[in-house]
Structure 1
C-alpha cells in the first residue's frame, strides 16, 4: 500500500476521532503519531522532534506571558473600565468585543476571553439582560483578534514556522497585521451592528437564582431527638444516603458553619440548610431521620423558607445579610458560593464528583450543575461533567481560586477584579515590549525572544513558577508536537500533492482567486470540526502544493490558511472560546452557525482581496 494511502487512512481516522470527541484531542494526536511511526511514515528518531519545534516553544511561551498579564493586573485594569460602559446594548457589545479583540492580538485568545467572560456575565446581570446576547460575540471577537499578530493564535505561529521551513524566512510578528486588522475591524462592526441580532435570546439566564432555581430547592432540616444522623459527620451522612445532597450549612448555637468546612459530628438540635427536591427530602427523612426545622413547622415552613431563601440569595451575590432575626442572629459569613464554567482541558471532563473527590482533595462542595441553559435534575453523583457545564460550587474564599485553577474551571459571577501591583504591571509590559523589539529587529527568533521574556517574567516575580507551569496548556502542546510530524508525513508521502493535484484538475479553468476561495472554505470547514491548530498543520502542505502547481507565490496561500483556520465560528467544538461560552450563554449546538456562517462569509470577502493586495500572487 502506498505511503500516501496510509497517511490518508490515518488522517481520516484521526479526523473522525476529533469529531467524535470521545477521546481528548491530545490523545488522538499522539495515537496518530505513533501509528505513523509504526507504519514507517515517520522516522522513529524524529517522532518526538515536535516537542522542540519552534512553533511549540512559541505557543508555550505565549501562554506563560498571557498569564503574567493577568497576574500583574493589566487586564483587570481594562476590565474594570469596561464595566463603566453604560446601559446601551450596542455600546456594551462594542466595548466588550472590541476589548477582547485587542487583547487577543497580544495574548492567547482563550486567555483573553477567560478574563472578559466574568465581566460580560456581571454586566448582563447588572442590566437584567440575557448573557446570550453578549457571550457569543465575545467569543467570536477573541478569534478575530488573534488574526492580527504572530502570537495571537497558534495557526499564525504554525504558518509562520512552516514558511520558514519552506523558504528559510518566517513571517514576522506583524506580518499578519494588515490583513488581520482589516478582517478584525470589519468583523467587529458586523457583530456589533448586525450580528448580535442573530444570536439567540435565552430568557431566564440573567441571574444565578434563575439559572439554578435555588429557591425551590432550599430547605432547613432539623436533627431531632430520635434522628439516626446524631453522631454522624456530613461525610457519613452522604455515605448512608448513597447520594451527594448539598448541605450548605450547619446551624448550631445560633452560629452558621459552611457545610464544606463542617467536620464535626451532628448533634440533636442542629439545623441543616440543604439543597434538594422532594425526593431528596424523603431520602433524608427515611435514612437519616431528619425533619423540617422547628420554626418552619410552627410557621408552616413559609416564613423560615422565605428567610432562608433571602439569605441564600444575598450570600450568592457576595454580601452578608443584615437581617439576623432568624435563629437569634445567625452569622452567615463563610457561605462562599461561586459559579464556574468547565474548560475544554479541565480534569473534570467525563468524570463524576465521586471520582474527582472534590470535597476531600479540593475542599469544594458541588451544589448544582447547569447544562444547555437549564439545571440538571439527575443525581449529582451520577453527572459526568462536560466542557461548558456551569457549576454552582461552595468553598473557602482563600483557596477557591487555586482549587478552580487546578480543576480547570473559570469563575463567572463572583470573580472580583483585583488590581495588580503597579510595579509588576509595568514590568510585564516592559518585558513583553523588549521581546517584540528583539523580534522586529531580527535580533532573536520569535521562539527565543518570547521564551526569554517568559523566563525573565518568572525570575523577577511577575508570575510565580507554579502559575507559569499551570499556564502551559498541556493538551495543546501535545497536540501540536504530535501533529507536526504527521503533517510532514502528509507532505513527504505525496498526499498533499495528490490533494492539490485534484483541486488543480477540478479548477484548471478557474482564476487563482477562485482557488483561494476553495482553499479558504475547505480550511474553515476543517477548523470547525477539529482544533484550529491541527487544521493549520494539515492544510499548510496542501496550500504549498497548490502554490507550486500554479507556479505562484507561496505567501498568499499560506495567509489564506492562517485566516481560515481561525474562523471556527460554525460550531461550539471548533475552538475553546466557543465551548467556554456555551454553558453560561445557554447556547445549543445549532445556535452558532446562525451568526457564524454570515460572519465567516464576511471574513472571506474581506480577507481574500486584502491578501491578494498585501501578498500578490
Structure 2
C-alpha cells in the first residue's frame, strides 16, 4: 500500500465517522475531505472541480426546480387525498395510497412528495380515527421503492449515471434500473400492506397528546397592578432570559399575544403563559407583583389566534439549526414562532427550551405568528408537517399552469424514453419552458434548488476520483473478493450490497453510492463480470434505506409526526431490506451473470 492509498483511506474513514456522528452538515464534511485531497496533491484542481460540471449533478439541479413546480401545482396531493378518501378499509386505503406514491416518486424528487403528503395523511388519519403511525413509514418506504425505478427517481441514480459517463462508460437509460428494481418494488409494496402493516406500531400522535398533557407544557403567572415593570417591555421587565422557563404567550382580556417579542409591553392583569421546566417557575416568586397560579385553564389550542397557530416541524439533515441551542438561533425573531416543546425519539425533552441543542429529526411544537408561513416557505431548516392555511403569497398555481407543467413533464419524459433527448437536455429545456411561461419565477426556481445537496454531490465526485486514482478502490475491491471468495460471484454481490446498504444508513445515500462505485467497478473487472451489474446493485442498495430514520430524508420527515421510535424502523424495515436485497441480487444474477 502506498502512502497516497493510506492517506485516501484514512480521510475517507474519518469522513464516514464524522458523517455518522453528524459533527457538521454532510456537504461541509465531504467538501472538507475533498479539500484535504487537493491540499496534498492527491487530485488536481481540475479533478476537484469536475463534479461541479458533471451532467448528473446538473440534472439533479434541474430536477429540484421541476419538483418544486409540480409540488406547487397541488396535483399530486389532490389525487392522493381523493384516493385515500375512497378506501373502504384501512389496508385498502393504504394500498390505493402507496401505488400512486411509488409511481410519482419514480419521476419526481420524493422528498417534496413526502413533505407535502405527511400533513394530508395525518389529517385523514385523524378524521378516520386511525393512528398515523400506520401510514407514515409506508409513505416514506413507498417513495423510496418508487425512486429506484427510473433514472430520475432519486439524485443517487443521477449521481451514479454521471459517474458512469465520467469514466467513459455507457450511462443509464430512463428505465435501465427498472428491469432489476421493478420486482423488488412490487414485493415491497405487497409487504407493506400485509405483514408490514401488522408490525407497524399504533401510536397516539403528538398533536393529540399535547392537549392531554398541557399541564406539562404550560404554567401561568398573573401580573398584578403593583408589578414594578407594568407598561414596560418584556426585556426591561427581565422576563426574557429566565432560567428554565420561556415566555411563550400573553393572555390579555380577549386578546392573545404570541409569540411574545422583546418589545412587547407588559400590562396589569396580563396572564403570562410560560413553557419549560415547571420546577423552575419558582424563580419568578422573587419578582414582586407576579402571582404564580398552581394550575392553568389555558390550553395550547386556546393560544391560537387569527394569525398564529400550533404547528409541528421536523428539523432537516441540512438545517443551519443543527448542533446549536435554540436561544442561539434567534428562532422567534427568524421564524416568527415560539418553541413550545421539543420531542426526540417520541419523548419530550425536559429542559429549558433555549438550552436544547437541536438534532436532525427533532420535532418542534411551535406557536406561530402571522409571518411564519412565508418565512418557513423560504427556509430549508425544517419540514412543516402540519396542514397550513393558504397564505396569500403562497397560493397554488392556476389550473392551466398546473396542467401545462404536468403535461410538459410527461412529454419530456416521453422524449427521454425514446432516446430523442438526454435527461439533462430534456430537463433543461423543461425548466426554460417553465420560466418562459411564467409557471415558475427565477426567484422560486432559485429557492427550489437545494445547493447543499449539489455541493455534497459535486464534492463526492472528487472523493471517488481519489479512490480510483490512488488505487485505493482496487485495494478495497481485492479485499472484498477475498472475503467472498468461498461463495463466488454471488457472495461478492451479497457483500457489495450489504456494505452499500450499511453505508447508506450510517452516512448519506449519495455519499454511499460515490464511495462504493469505484469499488464495484474494480471488483467487477477483477471477477471478469460486466461492471454494469455491480454498479446497478450499488445504485439500488444506496437508495434502499429502510433501517433507520437518519439514513434517508423521507424517513426523517415522518419520524416525529408518526411518533416513531428508532426500533420501529428496524422492526418494519429489516424484513423489507432482506426482500429488496434478495430480489435485486437475483435479478442482477439472472440478467448479467
TM-score by length of 1: 0.88
Asked whether the 8 Å contact 1:42–1:486 carries over to 2, the reply is no
Q: Which of 400, 405, 425 matches 1:448?
A: 425
CA-CA distance at 1:381 after TM superposition: 0.8
- Counterparts of 1:249 and 1:196 in 2: how far apart (Å)? 44
Q: Does 1:592 align with 2:569?
A: yes
Q: Does 1:394 align with 2:367?
A: yes
- Counterparts of 1:448 and 1:527 in 2: how far apart (Å)? 29
CA offset digits 1:506-527 (Å, max 9, x no partner): 4445443332222212211222
Q: Which of 491, 498, 516 matches 1:514?
A: 491
CA offset digits 1:290-340 (Å, max 9, x no partner): 2258xxxxxxx88xx44x33xx43666xxxxxxxxxxxxxxx533422111
Change in 2 beyond 3 A, CA 1:211/1:8: farther
Q: Which of 313, 325, 337 matches 2:301?
A: 313
Equivalent residue, structure 2, for 1:61: 62
Asked whether the 8 Å contact 1:223–1:268 carries over to 2, the reply is yes
Between 82-91 and 4-13, report the one with greater CA deviation.
Answer: 82-91
User: The residue matched to 1:48 in structure 2 has which SS?
Assistant: helix
Asked whether the 8 Å contact 1:229–1:288 carries over to 2, the reply is no
Q: Which of 346, 361, 376 matches 1:373?
A: 346
- Counterparts of 1:162 and 1:414 in 2: how far apart (Å)? 39
Asked whether the 8 Å contact 2:111–2:553 carries over to 1, the reply is yes
Equivalent residue, structure 1, for 2:291: 291
Q: Which of 470, 480, 483 matches 2:457?
A: 480
Equivalent residue, structure 2, for 1:601: 578
CA-CA distance at 1:33 after TM superposition: 0.6
- Counterparts of 1:502 and 1:163 in 2: how far apart (Å)? 23
- Counterparts of 1:527 and 1:278 in 2: how far apart (Å)? 41
User: The residue matched to 1:266 in structure 2 has which SS?
Assistant: coil
Equivalent residue, structure 2, for 1:422: 399
- Counterparts of 2:287 and 2:231 in 1: how far apart (Å)? 14
User: The residue matched to 1:560 in structure 2 has which SS?
Assistant: helix
Change in 2 beyond 3 A, CA 1:571/1:218: closer
Between 20-29 and 461-470, report the one with greater CA deviation.
Answer: 461-470
Q: Does 1:535 align with 2:512?
A: yes
Between 273-282 and 520-529, report the one with greater CA deviation.
Answer: 273-282
CA-CA distance at 1:562 after TM superposition: 1.1
Q: Does 1:457 align with 2:434?
A: yes
- Counterparts of 1:404 and 1:471 in 2: how far apart (Å)? 10
Equivalent residue, structure 1, for 2:108: 107
CA-CA distance at 1:266 after TM superposition: 1.7
CA offset digits 1:589-612 (Å, max 9, x no partner): 333222222111100121222234
Between 100-109 and 579-588, report the one with greater CA deviation.
Answer: 579-588
Consecutive unaligned residues of structure 2, counting only runs of 5 or more, are none
- Counterparts of 2:229 and 2:261 in 1: how far apart (Å)? 18
- Counterparts of 1:334 and 1:166 in 2: how far apart (Å)? 55
Question: Aligned-pair RMSD on alpha carbons?
Answer: 2.7
Equivalent residue, structure 1, for 2:317: 344
Equivalent residue, structure 2, for 1:319: none
Equivalent residue, structure 2, for 1:155: 156
Asked whether the 8 Å contact 2:225–2:289 carries over to 1, the reply is no
Asked whether the 8 Å contact 1:368–1:375 carries over to 2, the reply is yes
CA-CA distance at 1:243 after TM superposition: 5.9
Output aligned runs, 1:228-267, within 5 Å: 228-237=228-237, 238-239=239-240, 241=242, 245-252=246-253, 254-260=254-260, 263-267=263-267
Asked whether the 8 Å contact 1:155–1:562 carries over to 2, the reply is yes
Q: Does 1:467 align with 2:444?
A: yes
CA-CA distance at 1:383 after TM superposition: 0.7
Asked whether the 8 Å contact 2:27–2:453 carries over to 1, the reply is yes
- Counterparts of 2:532 and 2:578 in 1: how far apart (Å)? 22
CA-CA distance at 1:66 after TM superposition: 0.8
- Counterparts of 1:397 and 1:180 in 2: how far apart (Å)? 46
TM-score by length of 2: 0.91
CA offset digits 1:227-248 (Å, max 9, x no partner): 1331232344433635652332
User: The residue matched to 1:118 in structure 2 has which SS?
Assistant: helix
Equivalent residue, structure 2, for 1:382: 355
Asked whether the 8 Å contact 1:431–1:457 carries over to 2, the reply is no
Consecutive unaligned residues of structure 1, counting only runs of 5 or more, are 294-300, 317-331
CA-CA distance at 1:110 after TM superposition: 1.6
User: The residue matched to 1:593 in structure 2 has which SS?
Assistant: helix
Equivalent residue, structure 1, for 2:205: 205
Change in 2 beyond 3 A, CA 1:5/1:218: closer
CA-CA distance at 1:167 after TM superposition: 4.7
CA-CA distance at 1:75 after TM superposition: 2.1
User: The residue matched to 2:231 in structure 1 has which SS?
Assistant: coil
CA-CA distance at 1:575 after TM superposition: 1.2
User: The residue matched to 1:384 in structure 2 has which SS?
Assistant: coil
Between 451-460 and 6-15, report the one with greater CA deviation.
Answer: 451-460
Output aligned runs, 1:107-186, within 5 Å: 107-186=108-187
Change in 2 beyond 3 A, CA 1:243/1:235: farther
Asked whether the 8 Å contact 1:222–1:270 carries over to 2, the reply is yes
Equivalent residue, structure 2, for 1:547: 524
Equivalent residue, structure 1, for 2:548: 571
Equivalent residue, structure 2, for 1:298: none
Change in 2 beyond 3 A, CA 1:519/1:258: closer
Change in 2 beyond 3 A, CA 1:248/1:432: same
CA-CA distance at 1:538 after TM superposition: 1.3
Equivalent residue, structure 2, for 1:22: 23
User: The residue matched to 2:319 in structure 1 has which SS?
Assistant: coil
User: The residue matched to 2:135 in structure 1 has which SS?
Assistant: helix
Q: Which of 399, 409, 416 matches 1:432?
A: 409
Asked whether the 8 Å contact 2:533–2:592 carries over to 1, the reply is yes
Asked whether the 8 Å contact 2:345–2:566 carries over to 1, the reply is no
User: The residue matched to 2:317 in structure 1 has which SS?
Assistant: coil
- Counterparts of 1:346 and 1:155 in 2: how far apart (Å)? 20
- Counterparts of 1:288 and 1:49 in 2: how far apart (Å)? 66
Q: Does 1:493 align with 2:470?
A: yes
Asked whether the 8 Å contact 1:74–1:420 carries over to 2, the reply is no
Equivalent residue, structure 2, for 1:524: 501
- Counterparts of 1:276 and 1:538 in 2: how far apart (Å)? 44
CA-CA distance at 1:376 after TM superposition: 1.8
Change in 2 beyond 3 A, CA 1:92/1:260: farther
